[in-house]
Structure 1
Amino acid sequence: MSAGSTAAADASVQWSPDGDYDLLQTLGILLRGNSDPAASIRRDGYWLAFTTPDGPATLRLSPWTSGSGTVIDAAAWGPGSTAAIEGVPALLGAGDDWSAFDKPAFHATLPPLVIEARRRNKAVRLPSTLRVIDSLVPTILEQKVTVIEARRGYRYLMYRHGTPAPGSGTFAPAGLLVPPTPEAWLRIPSWEWHKAGVGPQRSATVMRALRSAVALERLADLPAAEAAAKLQTIPGIGVWTAAEVVQRTHGCPDSIAVGDYHLAAYVGAALTGRRTDDAGMLDLLAPWKGHRQRVVRMIGLSGFRKPTFGPRMTIQDHRSH
């Protein structure tokens, strides 16, 4: 980032991680596909758009290497720029502590595949966005459908009801969008959900959850397990949805997406060479309670590919009904 562009920002900060750091590997979990309208990866940095309590913000994160290691230049524009900059350390994983996971005694309990993956991926952190609604809505859209369907619907709703990010099309990437506010989500009519391919059960869950939007955002201040439990008191939100949310909002190192269509079979195949179900997956991961999400993340980064078993989940198009 040049000095001129830093000065042009409404707020900025530099953050230096302790140890190895990979920005894209860390923040990749936040992207809703390569065409996420609220994010853009360019040569000049990783761009994000979101709403803060003070209003919308565009955030650019630009990594560079100094003599002492990686430095992240963060610059923000818009009414929410100060709040966006204040959240940068958590977003980049400043509070994510792998020291217990990396102890030799703990490593001695891990499968070789996980140990090797961690050895090759010391630069990854678990990010904490602290933005519950921005994580919750697209996660609800992913309930019981394929990722392709869910992301197609999310993009449609974003293009129709998102708003241009501060600076979009000038200094920020063209087409960068801020997700709808809770009030805007609640104003979306039923036929728009239908056109997006979002069935009435999922759209009703979004509406039900966002009627308590203020209480939802306060969940960011609670421990991850407590926040997940409170999310599950909302009808239509179960353990899978809650886990997917707190993995992103809290950087939770232990939450497991029980009920995922593929995860249990994938973990079982990686750790034992055999498929398993959710109960079997939890049994396999039990020795590493407190770090189960770290183990799963390392399996994902190991390059392991699960053998294909049986039919794939069918992609459905609800828009024609």
Structure 2
Amino acid sequence: MSTFAHQLLGERLIDIGATLSWYRHGGADPTTWLNVVGRGVASRGEMVRATRTPDGPGTLRIGWTGSPVTDVDGIAGVSLEAYGPGAAWMLEQVPRMLGVDDRTDHGLAADDHPAVARAARNGRSVRMGASGDLYHSLLPTILEQRITIGEAHHQWRQLCCNLSEPAPGPFTRLLLPPEPGVLARQPSWWFHPLGIERKRAEPLLRVAQHAAKFWDWAALTPSETRAKLHLMDGIGQWTIGNVLGPALGDPDAVAVGDYHLKNMVGSVLAGEARATDERMLELLEPYVGQRGRVVRLLRLNSAAAPKFGPKKRILPMHTW
């Protein structure tokens, strides 16, 4: 096979497991199950996701068995099932979720920085997919503000177990995200026993109150959607930077204000154990337009900043 043919095949291959991974919030996410055996384009597995669509609740199952490729008709090597009133809408989203139209390199594999080039080569088949679902993406991301990721994932599960209903289809224990009307009716004090204090409960309530607008916002450009989200109290740069990637497929979205991200970027790109958000953005400046892709590829390549000192004891929020 010629070098050109190898390159062309590489552009068409999809690492489905890694591509779908950013739609799930923790291994026990009650709305999104992901099981992957193996790594890279040769992996096999399935994702089952329940969500709310413009047409009503829906459940989608995506299964794959090694080296799926894009072709003129969509994705070869992938099986799909969908259930509920939102089934047709979810099936229409599959090509976007898998990033079929996303080019995967953008010259990063030939970048001057060896860490970026290595991560881009290793992740050449990882796509920047888009769920098109801002509401579903915002809820668990808001919970991840200000606390550890493990505690936030536990709270997301508890929120769904308390307020959601079973998802359409044959998947027992799979839950939908909370219905916006149900979530919006809860007083802020109701969330405290779950460990969710007022500063995070109130943005959850605002998101529920404005949920109907998000379908139109998801059809805008990432910069337009960013401006809309900035108008909502409690939705800041960190939340927006984490949401625009998986919801809209924005390759430039960066979570400014993240406790760990700035240090990872500083360590990998400049050999600096600790960095500020300003320094992180300075180091990412050469990749404007693809900053989110660079960060994602570095993370998938197990990049991390060095750790110092003893691990801090984490106190659950409801004990504060």
The TM-score with structure 1 as length reference comes to: 0.86
Distance 1:77-1:209 versus aligned 2 partners, 3 A rule: closer
Q: Matched residue of 1:307: which SS?
A: coil
Distance in 2 of aligned mates of 1:267 and 1:67: 31
Distance in 1 of aligned mates of 2:93 and 2:210: 23
% identical equivalent positions? 37
* Paired positions, count: 298
Distance 1:313-1:277 versus aligned 2 partners, 3 A rule: farther
Distance in 1 of aligned mates of 2:145 and 2:312: 13
Checking the alignment, whether the CA contact within 8 Å between 2:12 and 2:69 is kept in structure 1 is no
User: What CA deviation, in whole Å up to 9, does each residue of 1:35-56 have, x standing for no partner?
Assistant: 0001123586211111111111
Selected match of 2:29 from 21, 24, 36:
36
Give the corresponding residue for 1:288. 287
Distance 1:223-1:311 versus aligned 2 partners, 3 A rule: farther
1:312 Cα deviation from its structure 2 partner: 5.2
Give the corresponding residue for 2:113. 111
Checking the alignment, whether the CA contact within 8 Å between 2:104 and 2:125 is kept in structure 1 is no
Amino acid across the alignment from 1:290: G
Amino acid across the alignment from 1:47: V
Unaligned 5+ segments in structure 1 are 1-16
Selected match of 1:180 from 178, 181, 197:
178
1:32 Cα deviation from its structure 2 partner: 0.6
- CA-atom RMSD, angstroms? 2.3
Q: Pairwise mapping of residues 78-227 of structure 1 onto structure 2 (< 5 A)?
A: 78-99=84-105, 101-102=106-107, 107-167=109-169, 171-172=170-171, 174-227=172-225
- Bigger drift between 306-315 and 203-212 goes to 306-315
Distance 1:295-1:66 versus aligned 2 partners, 3 A rule: closer
The TM-score with structure 2 as length reference comes to: 0.86
Amino acid across the alignment from 1:29: W
User: 4+ residue runs of structure 1 moved beyond 4 angstroms?
Assistant: 65-70, 310-314
Q: Matched residue of 2:218: which SS?
A: helix
Q: Matched residue of 1:87: which SS?
A: helix
1:222 Cα deviation from its structure 2 partner: 0.6
Give the corresponding residue for 2:263. 265
Distance in 1 of aligned mates of 2:312 and 2:206: 27
Amino acid across the alignment from 2:214: L
Amino acid across the alignment from 1:305: A
1:65 Cα deviation from its structure 2 partner: 4.7
User: What CA deviation, in whole Å up to 9, does each residue of 1:56-108 have, x standing for no partner?
Assistant: 11110011358977522221011111111111111111232235x13xxx554
User: What CA deviation, in whole Å up to 9, does each residue of 1:197-256 have, x standing for no partner?
Assistant: 000111011112332222233210110111012101111111111111111111110011
Unaligned 5+ segments in structure 2 are 1-9, 37-44, 71-75
